[in-house]
Structure 1
Amino acid sequence: MGVAVPNSNTLRMDQDPQLAVSQDLQRALLTAEFVTKGTNSEQDDGDNDLFELDPQIFDRWVPLLRQTIDESQLNTVVDDLYGSIDDHFENLEVQILQDTQLNNNLVTSINEIQKVQGIIDGSLQNDIHSLQKQVRSSTLQLVSKKQILIDNIKTSSKIKESSILIQKVLQIMELFNRCRELIEENDFFKALQTMETFETIYLQDFKQYNFEFLTEIYTSIPTLKSQIKDESINLIKNSLNYNLEKSFGVIGDKYYNVYETQILQDWLKTKQAMKLHSYKFNSPVEISLRDASRLDPLQLQNFCQLHEFHDSILIFQSLGEMNFFIDEFRKEYEFRKSKLVHPLFLKDFSTVSHSDGNTDLFAEKLNLPFFKEYILKILGFLVYDKELHRSTDYVLSNNSFNSTDVFWTSIMNKLYPYLITMVKNTLINENLLTAFKDFLGVLIAILENLKLNVELLYKVQVETFNQYCDLLVFQFEKEFTNLLQDDDFMPLSITDKTLYHKILKICWLTDHGSDANPSNDSQFSATFPFSPLYPMTCTLVKKTYTSLHSFISVFYKHDISHLNLILVKAIDSIFDKVVNLNIKSKLDTTSREEIAQILVNLDYFVIATKEFSLILTRENLTNNPDVEIRLSSIKKLIETRKEAETKLINLIDSKVIDLMEFIEFDWNTIDIRDEPDMTIVDIAQFLEMMFTSTLAIIPSNIKMLLIFREFDVITRRFLEKLLNETPNRISPQSVQNFETDMLYLEKTISKIFPNDVSSVPSSPSIPLTPTDIPSTAGNRSSVQVGNNIKSLLSTFTDLKQHIGLMKVNHWEEYKDNDIRLKKYSRVKPEVAQSLLAKLQPPSSEQSNLISDEGSSADSRGNSRFAKLFSRS
Structure 2
Amino acid sequence: MDQDPQLAVSQDLQRALLTAEFVSKSGSSNQDQGEDELFELDPQIFDRWVPLLRQTIDEGQLNTVIDDLYASIDDHFENLETQILQDSQINNNLVTSINEIQKVQQIIDGSLQNDIKNLQSQVRHSTLNLVSRKQILIDNTKTSSKITESSILIQKVLQILELFNRCRELIEEKDFFKALQTIETFETIYLQDFKQYNFEFLNQIYTSIPMLKSQIKDESINLIKKSLNYNLEKTFSVIGEKYYDVYETQILQDWLKTKQSMKLHNYKFNSPVEISLRDTSKLDSLQLQNFCQLHEFHDSILIFQSLNEMDFFIDEFRKEYEFRKSKLIHPLFLKDFSTVSHSNGKIDAFAEKLDLSFFKEYILKILGFLVYDKELHKSTDYVLSNNNNPNSTDIFWTSIMNKLYPYLITMVKEKLTTEQLLTEFKDFLGVLIAILENLKLNVELLYKVQVETFSQYCELLVFLFQKEFTNLLQDDDFMPLAITDKALYEKILKICWLADQGSDTSNTTNDNFSATFPFSPLYPMTCTLVKKTYSSLHSFISIFYKHDISHLNLIVIKAIDNIFDRVVNDNIKSKLDTTSREEIAQILVNLDYFVIAAKEFSLILTRENLTNNPDVEIRLSSIKKLIETRKEAETKLITLIDSKVIDLMEFIEFDWNSTEVRTEPDMTIVDIAQFLEMMFTSTLAIIPYNIKMLLIFREFDVITRRFLEKLLNETPDRISPQSVQNFETDMLYLEKTITKIFPNDVSSVPTSPSIPATPTDVPSTAGNRSSTQVENNIKSLLSTFTDLKQHIGLMKINHWDEYKDNDIRLKKYSRVKPEVAQSLLSKLQPPSSEQSNLVSDEGSSAESRANSRFAKLFSRG
Same fold (TM over 0.5): yes
What amino acid maps onto 1:468 in structure 2? Answer: Y
Counterpart CA distance in 2 for 1:457 and 1:103 is 138
Contact 1:189 1:314 (8 Å CA) reproduced: yes
Distance 1:386 1:355, change over 3 A: farther
CA contact (8 A) 2:589 2:686 kept: yes
My pick for the range that moved more, 258-267 or 473-482, is 258-267
8 Å CA contact 1:22, 1:80 repeated in 2: no
AA aligned opposite 2:811: K
> 1:848 matched to which residue of 2?
837
Matches within 5 A, 1:487-566: 487-510=476-499, 512-514=500-502, 520=508, 523-566=512-555
| Local SS of the residue matching 1:658 | helix
- Alpha carbons 1:606, 1:634 under 8 Å: kept: yes
Residues 215-234 of structure 1 mapped to structure 2, 5 A cutoff: 215-234=203-222
Q: Give unpaired runs (5+ residues) of structure 2.
A: 1-6
Letter of the 2:209 partner, please give it.
I
1:544 and 1:489 map into 2 onto residues whose CA distance is: 24
**Offset from partner CA, 1:596-641 (integer Å, 9 cap, x none):** 1111111111111000000000111111111110001101111111
Determine which of 52, 58, 77 is the counterpart of 1:86: 77
The match for 1:443 is: 432
Equivalent residue for 2:4?
A: none
Once residues 529 and 154 of structure 1 are traced to their aligned partners in structure 2, the CA distance between those partners, rounded to angstroms, is 132
Indicate the residue corresponding to 1:667 in structure 2: 656
Find the counterpart in structure 2 of residue 15 from structure 1. none
From 833, 839, 863, the equivalent of 2:852 is 863
Aligned residues: 842
1:271 paired to 2:259:
yes
2:710 is the alignment partner of 1:686? no
Q: How does 1:172-321 map to 2 (within 5 A)?
A: 172-321=160-309
Residue 364 (str. 1) matches residue 355 (str. 2): no
Higher alpha-carbon deviation: 94-103 or 858-867: 94-103
User: What is residue 811 of structure 2 aligned with on the other side?
Assistant: 822
Amino acid at match of 2:463: F
2:742 counterpart of 1:753? yes
1:373 corresponds to 2:357: no
- Which deviates the most, 613-622 or 659-668? 659-668
Q: 1:154 aligns with which of 126, 134, 142?
A: 142
Whether the 8 Å CA contact 1:37–1:52 is kept in 2: the answer is: no
Partners of 1:95 and 1:623 lie apart in 2 by: 150
The correspondence of residues 576-591 of structure 1 with structure 2, limited to 5 A, is: 576-591=565-580
TM-score by length of 1: 0.90
How far is 1:561 from its partner?
Answer: 0.8
Secondary structure of 2:593's aligned partner: helix
User: How far does residue 135 in structure 1 lie from its aligned partner after superposition?
Assistant: 4.5
SS in 1 for 2:42: strand
Distance 1:82 1:299 in 2: 107
Cα distance in 2 between the residues matched to 1:165 and 1:49: 76
What is the SS of the residue equivalent to 2:41? strand
Deviations 1:244-290 (A, max 9, x none): 11221122122222222222222222222222221222222222222
Distance 2:94 2:693 in 1: 196
Is this contact kept in 2: 1:531–1:597, CA < 8 A? yes
1:332-481 to structure 2, matched below 5 A, reads 332-348=320-336, 358-397=346-385, 398-481=387-470
Contact 2:436–2:442 (CA under 8 A) maintained in structure 1: yes
Corresponding residue for 2:557?
568
C-alpha separation between the residues in 1 aligned to 2:88 and 2:840? 236
2:603 alignment counterpart: 614
Of the three residues 798, 808, 833, the one matched with 1:809 is: 798
Cα RMSD over matched residues?
A: 3.5
Q: Say whether 1:640 aligns with 2:622.
A: no
Instruction: Give the aligned partner of residue 711 of structure 2.
Output: 722
Q: 1:597: which partner in 2?
A: 586
The CA distance in 1 between the partners of 2:94 and 2:198, in whole Å, is: 93
Deviations 1:302-351 (A, max 9, x none): 22222211111111111111111111111111001101111101123577
C-alpha separation in 2, matches of 1:869 and 1:356: 72
The aligned runs of 1:70-149 (5 Å cut-off) are 81-87=72-78, 90=81, 94=85, 98=89, 109=100, 116=107, 121=110, 133-149=121-137
- The change in CA–CA distance for 1:98 and 1:204 in structure 2 (over 3 A counts) is same
Identity of aligned residues (%): 81
CA distance in 2, matches of 1:702, 1:129: 169
- Kept in 1, the 8 Å contact 2:561–2:620? The answer is yes
Q: Once the 2 structures are TM-superposed, how far is the Cα of residue 590 of structure 1 from its aligned partner? A: 2.0
- Provide the rounded CA distance (Å) in 1 between the counterparts of 2:685 and 2:334: 71
Between 1:443-452 and 1:772-781, the stretch displaced more is 772-781
Q: Relative to 1, partners in 2 of residues 1:238 and 1:798: Cα closer, same or farther, differing over 3 Å?
A: same
Shift in CA distance, 213/684, structure 1 to aligned 2, threshold 3 Å: same
Q: Which amino acid in 1 is paired with 2:208?
A: S
Give the whole-Å Cα distance in 1 for the aligned partners of 2:144 and 2:32: 56
* Cα drift, residue 127 of structure 1: 5.4
* Contact 1:506–1:535 (Cα < 8 Å) also in 2: yes
Cα distance, 1:827–1:50 mapped onto 2, change above 3 Å: same
Q: Greater shift after overlay, 123-132 or 723-732?
A: 123-132
Deviation at 1:184, TM superposition (A): 1.4
- How far apart are the structure 2 equivalents of 1:583 and 1:408? 50
Q: Counterparts of 1:131 and 1:741 in 2: how far apart (Å)?
A: 191
Query: Does the Cα contact within 8 Å between 2:553 and 2:610 map onto a contact in 1?
Result: yes
Q: Do residues 658 (structure 1) and 666 (structure 2) align?
A: no
5+ residue gaps, structure 1:
1-18
* Contact 1:33/1:54 (<8 A) preserved: no
Distance 1:740 1:175, change over 3 A: same
Alignment check: 8 A CA contact 2:426 2:453 kept: yes
More moved, 156-165 vs 769-778: 769-778
Alignment partner of 1:698 is 2:707: no
1:53: which partner in 2?
Answer: 43
Instruction: Evaluate the alpha carbon distance shift between residue 149 and residue 60 of structure 1 in structure 2; reply closer, same or farther with a 3 A threshold.
Output: closer
1:157 and 1:737 map into 2 onto residues whose CA distance is 165
Please give the alpha-carbon distance, in whole angstroms, between the structure 1 residues aligned to 2:104 and 2:810. Answer: 211
- Residue identity in the other structure for 1:532: P
CA distance in 2, matches of 1:276, 1:75: 123
Query: TM-score normalised to the size of structure 2?
Result: 0.91
Q: Distance in 1 between matches of 2:506 and 2:808?
A: 56
Supply the distance in 1 between the matched residues of 2:504 and 2:816 (Cα, whole angstroms).
48
Report deviation, 1:851. Answer: 2.5
Residue identity matched to 2:43: L
One-letter identity of the residue aligned with 1:712: D
User: Counterpart of 2:501 in structure 1: which amino acid?
Assistant: G
Amino acid at match of 2:395: V
CA distance in structure 1 between the aligned counterparts of 2:696 and 2:482, rounded to whole angstroms: 27
Deviations for 1:493-546, whole angstroms, at most 9, x for unmatched residues? Answer: 222222222111111110x43289788466222221111111111111111101
Q: 1:36 to 1:381 in 2, by over 3 A?
A: farther
Q: Which segment drifts farther, 728-737 or 568-577?
A: 728-737
SS at match of 1:54: helix
